[in-house]
Structure 1
């Protein structure tokens, strides 16, 4: 595999860049008519080299949410996108949180989440704030052990400011500090409590990169990691994270560069990354933003911070005029791109979306953002139908 340019290697491949893209540039054609309602089918072939090679929990086991309900096939991507692709766009009932109308492509396939998983860390932080175990003014120091790749916060940064950096700047060190502070198990519980059996949220960023770079003896010696659940997964995750904290971030970056300059296997992404399916992660967001079980104070914190995530400006102009509230996040990695979010329209409709790309032809995937949102917007149009600007309406509080 051709090595990426030095500029890309030096910046770190897994960092979510700051985006300033105008959503009005990304309008896409609205389908003339909706196809008949059918069960979801894969819209694109899965390349063998990107297929899941490790065992995964059975989504239909007791206590699991199960596969996505029947939905309309998603419109074809208006602009070319390579690799494995997944999309789930749904209008959800704000009371039951069940999909009222949805379009989908490969909604039950597992994809690496990259930085979009940080929305789950925010929810876990707010839960512990409400429990009285995590004051928003608690301060943290950046150390050799907890520094991850990319930029990082100043010493003495508060919990509240770390959540802002995590969502607005996609700061990996801020994320890892918060993830470890609330506990690896607490972040995984965000998914487990909802029965999202194919969703793994337990590893901090530095831990999955250390595993991918070959620096975790625990990971190297445990072939069954992908199928581990419950206490076994918690024990292994803690050990993998302990391995990762032994290394300076600059050394980890060099080792990761060496891995990607060789012959990286896309299957390894599925072994080391936090994971989910488009349907499961969109379900998580519906609960996080519509039924989070938080106090009024925590809800205010959530709304302030989650609104800083990327995605609002990438919506089509007609949609954007009708948005009363928006919360979103994106993530990118080596041939990986994800965008997920929730918004409420001024007319009181609630939309969740999850776009996932894995094994893209492009090593650096951020330039695919316009293409990704062209597809997301086509899905939103298919769900919402013809739109027109409405008067300003205050967003209802979940």
Structure 2
């Protein structure tokens, strides 16, 4: 499919359907009880894998041996079924049933689980986890309020002034609001979100930049980013310092000026390799590992767990699962993201017979510039992976005509 209509283009290519992710092509709004606990996270086993075979270093995490302390490459898994419907570009998929005690995969299907992809808005799940941890630490209150300013306004829709933290988390997950995300990300600290990955040894996962910061970098507006070759490989304090400087650059620009510069970039010679330089990143396996910890062993208090359940259940994906049509989903948390030739869908669900499934679908360099129409194709593949693990999820019989689908977000 070609470019979206001008009315959509004017909203910005990296967020132009972010609001629709909560409603998308289906509506999913039926949160149910999940047996969450406040136990401490179970760290993955850090190992140093054997050197990988040569492959393009820009797209494959396994191109270099991992340092000690990093999570190993994805464990052995069955090849994922081929996508039931055509999908272009680089593709990655990890669908796994995980042990709720160890959080390690019991069985999995995969395609390129160790390749690195841009996360787009699916990274916002990590921001939610960081907020909840700081709530438990007494570092912020759900009633703390924020205004939208020239500095913090990002692309797309944005919250009203005086919106509190709790409502910002809802807007971030349900409506994929970028300004709400950036306010929260900066409030907890850039380092705090990145630490969620670092503490788990997810050495190919970058979560440190707010949305406006990566767009300013990709638009060529960050003097810090333009002036260094260290950003892509920076870790620890070096990455924190550079991220803070790139984010400071981002806050100098009005959102509408940034939008015009992004439009010019994407209408020109946009290079998909730049996405990997500026976006928050992960691999299908690493990000699914993070989600298993976030939703099964987040180390949160009962109050924070209640908040997590209320908000994370609003993310897109539940009604796109065939397991939901089969009345086999007891709880669901998820999120999607899209951008210029980018599409991601990641999440967790528990079946009614007590099995725990995480999934991560990632697409980069799609033939379609506007990727939201690929949503059905993406979930056809995710569902094929779920069927391979759990058995075919057959839709339950319905009586009469099915009700019309009404997206939750226009």
TM normalised by structure 1 equals: 0.88
Q: Which 10-residue stretch deviates more, 218-227 or 207-216?
A: 218-227
Q: Displacement, 1:22? A: 3.8
Is 1:146 matched with 2:152? yes
Q: Displacement, 1:362? A: 0.2
Quote the residue 1:9 is aligned against: 9
Q: Displacement, 1:226? A: 0.6
SS at match of 1:180: helix
SS at match of 2:114: coil
Is 1:193 matched with 2:220? no
Q: Is the 8 A contact 1:3 1:262 kept in 2?
A: no
SS at match of 1:89: strand
Q: Is the 8 A contact 2:19 2:177 kept in 1?
A: no
Quote the residue 1:206 is aligned against: 212
Q: Displacement, 1:52? A: 0.9
Q: Is the 8 A contact 2:343 2:362 kept in 1?
A: yes
4+ residue segments displaced more than 4 Å: 2-5, 53-59, 317-320, 387-390
Q: 1:283/1:319 Cα in 2 relative to 1: closer, same or farther (>3 Å)?
A: farther
Output the CA distance in 1 between the equivalents of 2:239 and 2:65.
Answer: 17
Q: 1:95/1:11 Cα in 2 relative to 1: closer, same or farther (>3 Å)?
A: same
Q: 1:167-316 to 2 correspondence within 5 Å?
A: 167-316=173-322
Quote the residue 1:36 is aligned against: none
Q: Is the 8 A contact 2:323 2:393 kept in 1?
A: no
Q: 1:103-114 to 2 correspondence within 5 Å?
A: 103-114=109-120
Output the CA distance in 1 between the equivalents of 2:324 and 2:125.
Answer: 26
Q: 1:146/1:379 Cα in 2 relative to 1: closer, same or farther (>3 Å)?
A: same
Q: 1:124-163 to 2 correspondence within 5 Å?
A: 124-163=130-169
Quote the residue 2:89 is aligned against: 83
SS at match of 2:19: coil
Quote the residue 1:30 is aligned against: none
RMSD of the alignment, in Å? 2.1
TM normalised by structure 2 equals: 0.86
Is 1:352 matched with 2:352? no
String of CA shifts for 1:182-213, please: whole Å, max 9, x gaps.
00000000100100000000000000000000
Output the CA distance in 1 between the equivalents of 2:61 and 2:229.
Answer: 10
Quote the residue 1:122 is aligned against: 128
String of CA shifts for 1:286-340, please: whole Å, max 9, x gaps.
0000000000000000000000000001011566511000000000000000000
String of CA shifts for 1:236-286, please: whole Å, max 9, x gaps.
000000000000000000000010011000000000000000000000000
Output the CA distance in 2 between the equivalents of 1:58 and 1:301.
Answer: 39
Output the CA distance in 2 between the equivalents of 1:21 and 1:3.
Answer: 19
- Residue of structure 1 aligned with 2:390, choices 365, 384, 389: 384
SS at match of 1:373: helix
Output the CA distance in 1 between the equivalents of 2:209 and 2:151.
Answer: 15
Q: Is the 8 A contact 2:146 2:163 kept in 1?
A: yes
Is 1:164 matched with 2:170? yes
Q: Is the 8 A contact 1:312 1:320 kept in 2?
A: no
Q: Unaligned regions of 5+ residues in structure 2, if any?
A: 29-54, 397-410
Q: Is the 8 A contact 2:326 2:394 kept in 1?
A: no
String of CA shifts for 1:138-182, please: whole Å, max 9, x gaps.
000100000000000001000000000000000000000000000
SS at match of 2:265: helix
